[in-house]
Amino acid sequence: MQQSRSWKIVGHRGYPAKYPENTVMGFQAAIALGVDAIELDVQLTGDGVPVVLHDVRLDRTCDDIGSVLMRRWDDLKKVSAHQPNKFKQQFFPAYLASLEDVANAIVTADVQVFVEIKRQSLTQSNREAVLDSVLHATRALSKKRVLLSFDYKILEIAKQRSDLAVGWCVKNYSPLAQAQALALEPDFLICSPSNIGSAALWPGNWQWFVYDIKTSEEARKWVGMGASYIETDFPDSLLDNG
């Protein structure tokens, strides 16, 4: 970890430029590289188990098809998330991991862990139950966890039910969203530069986290505008040139 750097590098879904996304091996590779934090995505299985997967469907990243919401965890344990369309069989098998599996695998690492609760899985149960499942599965990480979501209501509940940091993923960079951010008072605001455009970053008692950053030049631009966390698929490039 580069102590001289004032801003933090976040491995987006681990280290997806070189390893299958949202897999234990990808997270461990990013941590070994020296990232300050990792981000992961959470969906719920049909029987309510939080698993680390971005898409609600298995098709893009796994050797199976269909919606994770319609499958039981005992069945999904056999699915490999080695991204065969991208990496062929290079990383087979990289079994789909439960959130608890990932938390236990990285528990000793000195990194923050940004846990994004995907909105599709909120249709499986009420928000309180989903939040409780995620909190239980990540309990080993203690205060290293930051709960993220595009879903505003689950973050409101998280602030009431836990003392963990939360981050709101902002889709529409608008005056209304700014007012909502001021009302929520999250610890982090997360947004894509493509949504922010040429606007200034909203001032407030939060840290800005920008994602989909590809180069060190782009990272320095956003740090200069006030961002503290830079998320990337290419942590090696940013670490080498940060």
Rounded mean pLDDT, 149-178: 97
Asked if residue 1 has pLDDT above 50, the reply is: no
Q: How far is CA 173 from CA 26, 41, 179, 189, 197, in A?
A: 31, 22, 11, 11, 9
Q: Is residue 198 part of a domain?
A: yes
Which pLDDT tens digit goes with each residue over 62-99? 999 999 999 999 999 999 999 999 999 999 999 999 99
161: domain CATH number?
A: 3.20.20.190
Assess if residue 160 is contained within a domain: yes
Total domains in the fold of the chain = 1
State the pLDDT at residue 193: 97
131: domain range?
8-44+111-241
In a domain, 184, yes or no: yes
Q: How confident is the model at residue 242 (pLDDT cuts 50, 70, 90)?
A: low
pLDDT category of residue 202 using cuts at 50, 70 and 90:
very high
pLDDT band at 124 (very low <50, low <70, confident <90, very high): confident
Q: Is residue 69 part of a domain?
A: no
Q: Could you tell me which of 184, 231, 221, 215 has the C-alpha nearest to residue 201? A: 221
Question: b/e per residue, 90-119, with b = 16+ CB within 10 A?
Answer: ebeebbbbbbbbbbbbbeebebbbbbbbbe
Average pLDDT over residues 203-230: 97
* Residue 134 resides in a domain: yes
- For residue 2, pLDDT over 90 is answered with no
Residue 185 lies in a domain: yes
Q: What is the pLDDT of residue 5?
A: 83
Residue 190 has pLDDT above 60, yes or no: yes
Q: Is 43 helix (H, G, I), strand (E, B) or coil?
A: strand
Alpha-helical regions (H) of the chain:
24-33, 73-76, 84-87, 99-105, 127-137, 152-161, 175-184, 193-196, 216-225, 235-241
Give 23-67 pLDDT, tens digit per residue: 999 999 999 999 999 999 999 999 999 999 999 999 999 999 999
Residue 82's pLDDT is 98
pLDDT at 3 over 60: no
Please state whether beta strands 50-52 and 37-44 pair in parallel, antiparallel, or not at all (unpaired). Answer: antiparallel
How far is 70 from 91, CA to CA, in rounded Å? 26
Q: So what's the pLDDT on residue 70?
A: 95
